[in-house]
Amino acid sequence: MDRRGLKLNAVRNVQFLQPLFEFSGACAGCGETPYLQLLSQLFGDRAVIANATGCSSIYGGNLPTTPWTFNKEGRGPAWSNSLFEDNAEFGLGMRLALDKQVEYALELLDRISSEIGDDLVSKLKNADQSTEMGLQEQRERVKILENKLKKIDKVEAKDLLSLVDVLTKKSVWIVGGDGWAYDIGYGGLDHVIAQRRNVNILVLDSETYSNTGGQMSKATPLGAIAKFAAGGKRTYKKDLAMMAISYGDVYVARVAIGANDAQAIKAFQEADAFNGPSLIIAYSHCISHGYNLVNGLEQQKLAVQSGYWPLLRYNPDLAKEGKNPLQLNSKAPSIPLEEYTYNENRYKMLTRTEPEVAKELLKQAQNEVIKRWRMYEHLASNFEKK
């Protein structure tokens, strides 16, 4: 399908886009891969991806094959894997490099504008690339520029020829799991979202170090069993979304594609459009949760209905319009937490080994769900215009 003819705010239209992520080799029913497929459909032909070590780097770079591919024009994501602890900085480096290359390319355009043509230079520099139509028009201008540069015998022309691709807008994505984002790489992630650079961070939150077979992380919820939490985790899940929202100038979204696919698509598009750091926290069911993942999307719905996983989008651009930047995209809890949690062995096991402890932790977790929901509800309904 011609992307220019599709309105990508509709779920059904997105399904016409070619996925540039395929045959991943992840566990059957993996909750992470649908988000990567969506990312590849929306931005894959211009995406630059820094991938933290973990599940997503294993199935993402399973050499000698790779699930990341390219379209018929030969365009696809540029993907690389870094260490667990420095992936955010690795992705920031990609952004800084691209920004510097764009700066130099624009400087070279000005230097040889008389040979290229002032009109073309002006259009290249001032192109609106916020839509699929605008991106395609810019790519056509870049092709014209390439042909002209090949005929110009100047050092500036040769330098610019090596940089022409950066004149088309790139989408930088920093991808990893909760072990990276909440724990080992959190210091780097926090540093990067504080830099006001145009990077997008996608946290595939499976609430455990999945790649080590279900090891506890700071994303592991209260009462869940995991490696190093055999008696049930005794502390609350870290609220990464609220920590990022506290900066005030970071786009933040919490999504669950099984509960609301339209909201997830909107969050990805808004994150890409936001000129600054963006953070998307994506609920990702995992085989280590201990249930048949054919029911994964239904579990996502229950997580949202119980209030455990409130869907939200925080867009600082709305504040500039006098609107509340925080929007809650799910309703108040409508089912008890246990209707969600006790479908999974990571919670159920504790009811068999230490039933009294399980009962007490469930009570605490239920109270925490209500408390956090009220906090988000208060922030979403109270906004003072400046």
Closest by CA to 139, choosing from 49, 75, 69, 48, is: 75
Instruction: Provide φ and ψ at 23, rounded to 5°.
Output: 50, 60
Q: Which residues pair with 173 in a beta bridge?
A: 49, 200
For residue 135 the two structure tokens come to 């991106």
Residue 211: C-alpha distances to residues 177, 178, 204, 289 (Å): 9, 11, 12, 13
Identity of the amino acid at 166: V
For residue 299 the two structure tokens come to 């579990």
Can you tell me whether residue 93 is helix, strand or coil?
Answer: helix
Domains of the chain: 3-93+169-381 (3.40.50.970)
Identity of the amino acid at 287: I
Q: What is the pLDDT along the chain (386 residues), one digit of tens a residue?
A: 888 888 888 899 999 999 999 988 899 999 999 999 999 999 999 999 999 999 999 999 987 889 999 999 999 999 999 888 999 999 999 999 999 999 999 999 999 999 999 999 999 999 999 999 999 999 999 999 999 999 999 999 999 999 999 999 999 999 999 999 999 999 999 999 999 999 999 999 999 998 888 899 999 999 999 998 999 999 999 999 999 999 999 999 999 999 999 999 999 999 999 999 999 999 999 999 999 999 999 999 999 999 999 999 999 999 999 999 999 999 999 999 999 999 999 999 999 999 999 999 999 999 999 999 999 999 999 876 65
Are the beta carbons of 338 and 308 closer than 8 angstroms? no
Long-range contacts of 71-77 (CB under 8 A, 24+ apart): 71/18, 71/20, 71/44, 71/45, 73/45, 75/45, 75/46, 76/20, 76/44, 76/45, 77/20, 77/21, 77/40, 77/44, 77/45, 77/47, 77/48, 77/49
Closest by CA to 168, choosing from 325, 303, 23, 43, is: 43
Q: How far apart are the first and last CA of the chain?
A: 45
